[in-house]
C-alpha cells in the first residue's frame, strides 16, 4: 500500500474551486520541473451561452472527450446513466481517462479530478484508481462532498486509505490550501 501521505485528496462543495486548484498546482509543478512525468486528467465544464451544459475530461497533455451532457439526444444516449440533468458518456470517459491511469515505471505523480459519481459509472475506473494507490506513486485527487448523508462507497474508501491526507476547500482557504498542497507534493517528489 502507499506510504503515509502519498494521496492528497481535495474536497469541498461544488463550485468552490477544486479543479482550479488542481490545475494550478499541476501547472506550477510542471513549470518548475518540466521533466516531471505527471499522468491523469481533470474535468472541466462545457458552457453554451453562459450556461453549463455538461462536462468534459481533459488529459494533462490537452486531449479532451465528453463526460456528460444535458443537451445530447442521440439514440445511444437514451441508455446512458444520468446524474441530475446530465447523461454520462461512460464509453467516451473510459477511452480517454482510464488509460491515463496506467501505472508506468517513470510516473512521478498522478492527477485524478475527480473521483465522483459520473466517473464511477465506469466499472474500470475505480479499480484503476486503486492500482494507482497501490503503486506508491503520489496522487493528487479530488472527491465530492456528499450532498446528504454518507460518502459514495468508493469515495469513503479513498478517504479512509492509510496514505490519504484530506484537504477541505473553502472560499477563504483556497490560496493557503494550494500552497500547502504544492509544498507537500514537492517534498513527496523530492523523496521519490
Tens-place pLDDT, residues 74-117: 999 999 999 999 999 999 999 999 999 999 999 999 999 999 99
Question: What residues have CB less than 8 Å from 51, skipping those under 6 apart?
Answer: none
pLDDT at 5: 67
pLDDT at 147: 78
Q: Is 166 helix (H, G, I), strand (E, B) or coil?
A: strand
Residue 139 burial (CB count, 10 A):
26
pLDDT at 1: 35
DSSP one-letter string for 25-94: HHHHHHHH-TT--EEEEEEEEEEETTEEEEEEEEETTS-EEEEEESS---TGGGGS-EETTEEE-HHHHH
pTM for this structure? 0.93
DSSP code of 154?
Answer: H
Q: Which domains does the chain have, with CATH numbers?
A: 7-43+97-190 (3.40.50.300)
Distances (CA, A) of 58 to 7, 103, 105, 107: 21, 18, 23, 18
Amino acid at each position: 500500500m502507499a506510504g503515509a501521505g502519498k494521496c492528497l485528496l481535495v474536497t469541498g462543495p461544488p463550485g468552490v474551486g477544486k479543479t482550479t486548484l488542481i490545475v494550478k498546482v499541476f501547472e506550477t509543478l510542471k513549470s518548475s520541473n518540466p521533466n516531471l512525468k505527471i499522468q491523469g486528467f481533470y474535468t472541466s465544464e462545457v458552457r453554451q451561452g453562459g450556461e453549463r451544459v455538461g462536462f468534459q475530461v481533459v488529459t494533462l497533455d490537452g486531449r479532451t472527450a465528453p463526460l456528460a451532457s444535458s443537451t445530447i439526444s442521440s439514440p445511444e444516449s437514451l441508455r446512458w446513466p444520468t446524474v441530475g440533468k446530465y447523461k454520462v458518456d461512460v464509453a467516451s470517459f473510459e477511452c480517454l481517462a482510464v488509460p491515463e491511469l496506467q501505472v508506468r515505471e517513470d510516473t512521478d505523480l498522478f492527477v485524478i479530478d475527480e473521483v465522483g459519481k459520473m466517473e464511477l459509472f465506469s466499472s474500470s475506473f475505480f479499480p484503476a484508481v486503486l492500482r494507482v494507490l497501490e503503486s506508491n506513486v503520489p496522487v493528487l485527487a479530488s472527491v465530492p462532498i456528499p450532498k446528504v448523508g454518507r460518502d459514495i462507497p468508493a469515495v469513503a474508501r479513498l478517504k479512509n486509505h492509510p496514505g490519504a491526507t484530506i484537504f477541505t476547500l473553502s472560499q477563504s482557504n483556497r490560496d493557503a490550501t494550494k500552497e500547502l498542497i504544492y509544498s507537500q507534493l514537492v517534498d513527496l517528489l523530492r523523496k521519490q
